[in-house]
């Protein structure tokens, strides 16, 4: 096996080493000569009657296979800036950066306007610039949880009594967040064993009584979690049906659609999701409205934590899936812009620096429990290290300390080189000659030793952070992206080369534009050989990916993990498989 194809986990099979071509290189027309069929296959074949599941694909058909990847818009709606890029095939045609607005729509509309009216874009195309898909990534939903705003009260419904009664819903939540979200807690009998047997029969009457109570309380959102629902979702489905009968307007989140095994973490995901569905619906519709106002008819997708996308109409029911899409998009964008599939990525923003590890073109995921706003979850999230260091970090004291406080988006007013009075990391970089920004004369008075000490401190922090995220002893390349990437030193221990790429300041939006779709399964298989279990799991994952819009012939397994279960009879194997494919 080549260096870059080492598997990332025990018995996890990632992309095979003979397909390095799946990471797209910018300005490279075709991925690889040995797999032309993937790109050049005629359209008719793609619609063969033997693939009925493909009805779920985006409603706008591709005009020709060669355009499958052409003319996509990627948008990143961040807390400070809304970035947009137009990709033609693998070429970045144009990129713009505009301030995010409170209503989101205005910012996106402005970004799209700037993008679509640029001469390079309109030169040879119609009003919609021939765009076939628009992908939006946003940190809106994470921010709502972290900042405790725009959250909806939720009815938490747990099915599993008499089991798990000791730890009711919200038990491990921060009290301030629980107080905002906890509308009602209902626990009823039901649920399943690990092998699919019922624990006790579902208490339908109790559920119906509870549903009637909810009607009186005028709650709009509910989260239903049943014990072992990832294996048998019958109880959750039945509960949702009863709730809909009694409260037709209620939005019901079912935990088995969100999570893996791990009751509390899956329930937390369902509760957070239920708390965000109203906001998600509003936001998604604002996105769609912005598209319509810009004259774009292309389908709208939202990017997910794992670097893939979902149709906006589907995604608005699952806001938790886009929690970590910001860092994921920047890492995927870095992979795309650099042409590297395996590398460390550092994204230096205005206030923080995120460091992650790319494996086969995707971010390496965090091992275990991920906390969002203080709530334990099991989301698929990139394994990231965040440092309080960015272009706007304050530089104070002697010897100088850098960050974690930052002027953030006010850098362009308050930074010294921009005419302000605050000494920032950017000012130090200008004084040290690392970048040419603003008015260099305004930092000419800084003592050389002071500048050197501040630069040394920043470089040391970055070097240590990069080392902590490295999981391979060998030297690896480092891709530097983000507006503050000039802070990254040219040489680091354990790094073979520091790669600066064009359009690095909009890597996020580029990552959104190139997103794929995925399907995942995480399930216990019994009385099957390991090979049979893996094959079954792969089939389920592929069906799910196709249902999400993937082209069946483009599917590839990106993760495969199997874990024999101690103590369980019947040769039990827990299998997790994830496949991705092109839209």
Binding site residues, other proteins, CB under 8 A? 7-12, 160, 162-167, 171, 193-194, 197, 199-200, 227-228, 261-264, 364, 367-368, 468, 471-473, 524, 563-569, 571-574
CB 288 within 8 A of CB 274: no
CB 262, min distance to other proteins, A: 5
Least distance in angstroms from the C-beta of 13 to other proteins: 11
Phi, psi (degrees; rounded to nearest 5) at 26: -70, 150
We find the least distance from the C-beta atom of residue 17 to other proteins, in angstroms, to be 16
**Between 118 and 463, whose beta carbon lies closer to other proteins?**
463
Q: State the nearest-atom distance from the C-beta of 190 to other proteins, in Å.
A: 12
Instruction: Tell me if 299 sits within 8 A of 335, measured CB to CB.
Output: no
> Going by C-beta distance under 8 Å and a sequence separation of 6 or more, which residues neighbour residue 134?
72, 73, 74, 75, 291, 296, 298, 299, 300, 301
Nearer to other proteins, 337 or 381 (CB): 381
Of the pair 40, 171, the CB lying nearest other proteins is at 171
- Region of 494 please: left (phi>0), alpha (psi -120 to 50) or beta: left
Least Å from the CB of residue 195 to other proteins: 8
What whole-number distance in Å separates Cα of residue 271 and Cα of residue 151? 11
Identity of the residue, 33 or 569, whose beta carbon is nearer to other proteins in the bound complex: 569
Q: How far is the CB of 166 from other proteins (least distance, A)?
A: 4
User: How many alpha carbons lie under 13 Å from residue 135 in its C-beta half-sphere?
Assistant: 31
Contact 309, 130 (CB under 8 A): no
Q: Are 321 and 315 in contact (CB under 8 A)?
A: yes
Beta strands 573-581 and 556-564 are: antiparallel
State in angstroms the smallest separation of the CB of 348 from other proteins.
23
Kind and range of the H or E run holding 182: strand 182-189
Is there a contact between 134 and 299 (Cβ–Cβ < 8 Å)?
Answer: yes
In angstroms, the CA 570 to CA 566 distance is: 11
Q: Which is nearer to other proteins, 146 or 565 (CB)?
A: 565
Let me know how many helices (H) and strands (E) the chain has, helices first.
Answer: 16, 23
Smallest distance, Å, CB 476 to other proteins?
Answer: 13
Q: Give the tokens for residue 98.
A: 């505009």
Cβ nearer to other proteins, comparing 11 with 48: 11
Partnered with residue 382 across adjacent β-strands are 365
Radius of gyration of the chain measured on its C-alpha atoms:
25
Least separation in angstroms between CB 568 and other proteins: 5
The residues with which 395 forms a beta bridge, in sequence order, are 402
| Shortest spacing between CB 559 and other proteins, in angstroms | 12
- In terms of CB distance, is 501 or 557 closer to other proteins? 557
Closest approach of other proteins to the CB of residue 10, in Å: 3
C-beta of 141 vs 170, nearer to other proteins: 170
Q: Map residue 125 onto helix, strand or coil.
A: coil
Among residues 118 and 195, whose Cβ is nearest to other proteins?
195
Closer residue to other proteins (CB): 264 or 512: 264
Are 137 and 108 in contact by the 8 Å Cβ rule? The answer is: no
Q: How far is the CB of 473 from other proteins (least distance, A)?
A: 6
What three-state secondary structure class fits 87? strand
Q: Which is nearer to other proteins, 39 or 568 (CB)?
A: 568
Compare residues 208 and 530 and give the one whose CB is closer to other proteins: 530
For residue 261, give both structure tokens. Answer: 């095994």
508 upstream amide cis, omega within 30 of 0: no
Give dist(CA 372, CA 393) in Å, integer.
24
Three-state DSSP class for residue 178: helix
Nearer to other proteins, 230 or 339 (CB): 230
Q: Residue written as tokens 């599917």?
A: 555
CB of 165 to other proteins, least distance (A): 6
Burial code (b: 16+ CB inside 10 Å, e: under 16) for 246-255 equals bbeebbbbbb
């Amino acid at each position: 096996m080549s260096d870059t194809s080492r598997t990332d986990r025990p018995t996890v099979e990632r992309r095979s080493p003979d397909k390095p071509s799946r990471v797209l290189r910018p300005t490279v027309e075709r991925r690889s000569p040995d797999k032309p069929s993937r790109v050049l296959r005629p359209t008719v074949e793609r619609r063969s009657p033997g693939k009925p599941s493909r009805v779920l694909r985006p409603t706008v058909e591709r005009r020709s296979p060669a355009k499958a990847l052409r003319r996509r818009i990627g948008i990143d709606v961040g807390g400070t800036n809304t970035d947009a890029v137009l990709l033609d095939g693998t070429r970045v045609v144009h990129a713009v950066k505009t301030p995010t607005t409170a209503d989101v729509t205005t910012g996106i509309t402005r970004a799209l306007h700037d993008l679509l009216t640029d001469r390079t874009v309109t030169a040879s195309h119609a009003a919609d610039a021939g765009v076939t898909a628009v992908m939006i990534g946003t940190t809106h939903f994470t921010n709502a949880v972290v900042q405790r705003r725009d959250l909806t009260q939720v009815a938490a419904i747990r099915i599993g009594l008499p089991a798990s009664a000791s730890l009711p819903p919200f038990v491990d939540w921060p009290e301030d967040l629980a107080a905002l979200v906890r509308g009602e807690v209902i626990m009823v009998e039901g649920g399943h064993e690990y092998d699919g047997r019922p624990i006790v029969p579902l208490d339908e009457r109790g559920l119906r009584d509870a549903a009637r109570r909810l009607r009186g309380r005028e709650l709009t959102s509910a989260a239903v979690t049943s014990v072992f629902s990832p294996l048998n979702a019958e109880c959750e489905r039945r509960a949702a049906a009863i709730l809909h009968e009694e409260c037709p307007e209620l939005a019901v989140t079912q935990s088995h659609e969100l999570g893996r095994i791990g009751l509390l973490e899956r329930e937390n995901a369902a509760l957070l999701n239920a708390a965000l569905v109203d906001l998600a619906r509003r936001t998604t519709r604002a996105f769609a409205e912005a598209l319509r106002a810009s004259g774009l008819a292309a389908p709208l997708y939202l990017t997910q934590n794992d670097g893939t996308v979902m149709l906006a109409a589907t995604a608005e029911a699952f806001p938790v899936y886009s929690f970590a899409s910001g860092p994921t998009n920047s890492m995927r964008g870095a992979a795309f812009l650099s042409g590297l599939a395996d590398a460390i990525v550092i994204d230096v923003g205005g206030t923080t620096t995120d460091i992650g590890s790319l494996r086969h073109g995707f971010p390496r995921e965090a091992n275990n429990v991920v906390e969002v706003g203080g709530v334990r979850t099991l989301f698929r999230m990139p394994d990231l290290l965040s440092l309080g260091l960015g272009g706007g970090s304050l530089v104070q004291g002697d010897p100088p300390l850098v960050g974690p406080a930052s002027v953030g988006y006010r850098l362009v007013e308050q930074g010294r080189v921009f005419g302000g009075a605050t000494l920032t990391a950017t000012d130090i970089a200008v004084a040290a000659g690392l970048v040419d920004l603003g008015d260099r004369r305004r930092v000419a008075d800084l003592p050389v030793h002071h500048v050197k000490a501040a630069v040394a401190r920043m470089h040391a922090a970055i070097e240590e952070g990069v080392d902590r995220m490295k999981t391979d002893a060998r030297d690896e390349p480092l891709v530097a992206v983000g507006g503050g990437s000039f802070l990254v030193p040219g040489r680091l221990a354990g790094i073979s080369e520091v790669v600066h790429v064009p359009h690095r300041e909009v890597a996020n939006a580029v990552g959104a534009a190139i997103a794929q779709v995925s399907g995942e399964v995480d399930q216990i298989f019994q009385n099957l050989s390991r090979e049979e279990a893996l094959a079954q799991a792969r089939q389920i994952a592929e069906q799910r990916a196709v249902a999400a819009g993937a082209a069946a012939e483009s599917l590839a397994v990106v993760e495969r993990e199997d874990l024999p279960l101690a103590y369980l009879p019947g040769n039990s194997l827990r299998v997790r498989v994830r496949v991705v494919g092109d839209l």
